[in-house]
Structure 1
Amino acid sequence: MARSLEAPAKQKIHQTKAIERLVSFANGKGGVGKTTTAANVGGYAALAGARVLLVDLDPQGDLARDLGYERQSGQELFNALIAGTAPAILKNIRENLDVIPGGQALEDIQGLMVSRANRSDAGDFGDLLYAVLEPLADDYDLILVDTPPGERTLVEGAFAISSAVVIPTRSDEASIDGVERVARRFLAVRDRNPALQLAGVVLFGVGPRSMRLERSVRESLKEMLGSVAPVFDTRIRNLESASADARKKGLLFHELEGAVTEAQKDRLRALRSGQKPSDGFFSRNAAGLAEEFEQLTGEILTRLNEIEGGDRR
């Protein structure tokens, strides 16, 4: 049975100001499509002409795999957080799309915050992150933050300065439990950041013949979250071959669609000329996933417009 959520007891805390159009992607469990969703939504928004900044707060730094840039250590972002200085930004990873990379150095954030806890003038991680990102806000139409599944300090710090949260989830019980965990973190931060809204839940990796299961999951999520957030209509199907190709090649799904088509043409040309076809892709058609992410991006942007317009459902 789904569990309804109650806000934790209030305590005296300082408030922070949300950065407009800063959206965190979060789930309390890994492997639910969080990073892939953030990367592809950012890619489609950029393709539509928006200036997008993707911020990788995950020590695993997996945005590098989805976007195809060299994996980073995260040390430059860590240093910027300590000093409150401008972070290193990877420019034009795609047209209109920049990235602040994460990496293993971010594992030290928890220790840093413990060491600062007894200083009266020391802010928490949300304050440090705000000092780094707020000066950049005017340069971008949209800032998307990929948060780690298990680092409470990093997740709640991101929530403290976000205007909205998107929760991707698979349909298994462990993933739904992850939704509950991240929703509780959302509620824990809400007094500090009253502007924070749950934009919605994304069903990720749904099987093509699992409509009954999908309906059950949607009902469970709606029962758990009540009127706090919608479950987006668009769900991302489970297509392992395309997902493997996308990460192997460092391509977003709309890019993979074109690459698969070209690879098929090259294969046919090689066969006709009597040559051995080169190794190509596992998938034969990524058009469906590309279309789903395009539709999801539209839903998320529409939801952000509703939030800005005062629809706090």
Structure 2
Amino acid sequence: MARSLQAERNTKRHDSAAIDRTVAFANGKGGVGKTTTAANVAGYAAIAGAKVLVIDLDPQGDLSRDLGYESASGQGLFNALVTGTTAPVLKDIRENLDVIPGGQALEDIQGLMFSRSTRADAGDFGDMLHRSIEPLAEDYDLIIIDTPPGERTLVEGAFAIATAVVIPTKSDEASIDGVERVARRFMAVRERNPNLQLAGVVLFGVGPRSLRLERSVRETLEEMLGTVAPVFATRIRSLESASADARKKGLLFHELEGAVTQAQKDRLKALRAGIKPSDGFFSRNAGGLAEEFEALTGEILSRLNEIESDDNQ
């Protein structure tokens, strides 16, 4: 696979429907931290001053849990895709961060594409997505697309308009197999979007003491990728209590740190006053996860700059 990916990378670039600074987060397996990584990277990029748009292409709509906005049906995005109009945007989910919410309505995309397949002028899902997203692009410095694990049409549509793909993965064999499935979808789209590049792989949910396992997984992934893309140096550790708190409260990890600290102060104040304290958090700290996501965001943005520099040569 490494040789074929490298060969594709060396092919001549052509004009494509890619939208600048658009990154798809993908893995062929669910439960690997894809949505959490996309949300926290978006959050840190926004803190750094970038104007960020996050697009939720997952029918489960789980991005709402990580970012803390009210879950949606995805009908607004679906309607825009069908009519070829600009997708509706939820503004100011965080400072500098807007969202196009997904949801259950996106499950109908596969059937829609089948019904439109006999129309010569219909185009594919990538064309539909481009028409709905491209008019928004000039308002943003970075567009992040969270893709579902099992919907090939949605994933390849995201790849058709993206300039880069980031693959979060856990260390188990099923997750590594998911990386290979994404690589196959990546290759399938390169003909119609030759500017698409593999930005890198993120190790997610690694046990804090699993150093030998981490080294082994890194070696496996590096052998798989060859020189095409890096396994990012920053890995995201496993800390279930903090992850559960973050999703329950709709907080990003840098926000969770502050909230947990405040909750501890409130708890001590209640104890001093002889009042039974409320305890709304499982974790006593975010375990350095905020710093890890900050470092990872820096690596990803640097990698995007590198890809852009290569494209301009």
Gaps of 5+ in 2: 9-13
Scaled by the length of structure 1, what TM-score is found? 0.95
Contact residue 242 and residue 287 of structure 2 kept, 8 A: no
Q: Supply the distance in 2 between the matched residues of 1:230 and 1:280 (Cα, whole angstroms).
A: 39
- Residue identity matched to 1:187: M
Shift of 1:280: 2.3
Gaps of 5+ in 1: none
**Matches of residues 1-313 of structure 1 in structure 2 within 5 Å?**
6=4, 16-310=16-310
Shift of 1:6: 3.8
Q: Supply the distance in 2 between the matched residues of 1:223 and 1:192 (Cα, whole angstroms).
A: 27
Q: Supply the distance in 1 between the matched residues of 2:223 and 2:130 (Cα, whole angstroms).
A: 33
Contact residue 51 and residue 142 of structure 2 kept, 8 A: yes
Shift of 1:87: 1.6
- Residue identity matched to 2:60: Q
Shift of 1:273: 1.0
- Corresponding residue for 2:11? none
Q: Supply the distance in 1 between the matched residues of 2:62 and 2:280 (Cα, whole angstroms).
A: 23
Shift of 1:16: 3.4
Q: Supply the distance in 1 between the matched residues of 2:44 and 2:140 (Cα, whole angstroms).
A: 15
Q: Supply the distance in 2 between the matched residues of 1:261 and 1:87 (Cα, whole angstroms).
A: 38
Q: Supply the distance in 2 between the matched residues of 1:182 and 1:117 (Cα, whole angstroms).
A: 24
- Residue identity matched to 1:77: L
Q: Supply the distance in 1 between the matched residues of 2:54 and 2:146 (Cα, whole angstroms).
A: 7
Per-residue displacement from partner, 1:266-291 (whole Å, max 9, x unpaired)? 00111111110112211111150000
Per-residue displacement from partner, 1:213-268 (whole Å, max 9, x unpaired)? 00110110111111111000000000000000000000000000000000000001
Contact residue 54 and residue 144 of structure 1 kept, 8 A: yes
Per-residue displacement from partner, 1:140-194 (whole Å, max 9, x unpaired)? 0000000000000000011011000000000000000000000110011111111
Scaled by the length of structure 2, what TM-score is found? 0.95
Dislocated runs of 4+, deviation >6 Å = none
Provide the secondary structure at the position in 1 that maps to 2:310.
coil
> Identity of counterpart residues, as a percentage?
80
Contact residue 67 and residue 252 of structure 1 kept, 8 A: yes
- Residue identity matched to 1:92: D
Per-residue displacement from partner, 1:185-218 (whole Å, max 9, x unpaired)? 0011111111000000000000011111001101
Provide the secondary structure at the position in 2 that maps to 1:176.
helix
Q: Supply the distance in 2 between the matched residues of 1:208 and 1:130 (Cα, whole angstroms).
A: 41
Contact residue 15 and residue 191 of structure 1 kept, 8 A: no
Q: Supply the distance in 1 between the matched residues of 2:154 and 2:70 (Cα, whole angstroms).
A: 23
| Cα RMSD (Å) | 1.5
Per-residue displacement from partner, 1:101-124 (whole Å, max 9, x unpaired)? 000000000001111111111110
Q: Supply the distance in 1 between the matched residues of 2:169 and 2:160 (Cα, whole angstroms).
A: 22
> How many positions carry a matched residue from both structures?
305
- Residue identity matched to 2:85: T
Provide the secondary structure at the position in 1 that maps to 2:288.
helix
Contact residue 5 and residue 184 of structure 1 kept, 8 A: no
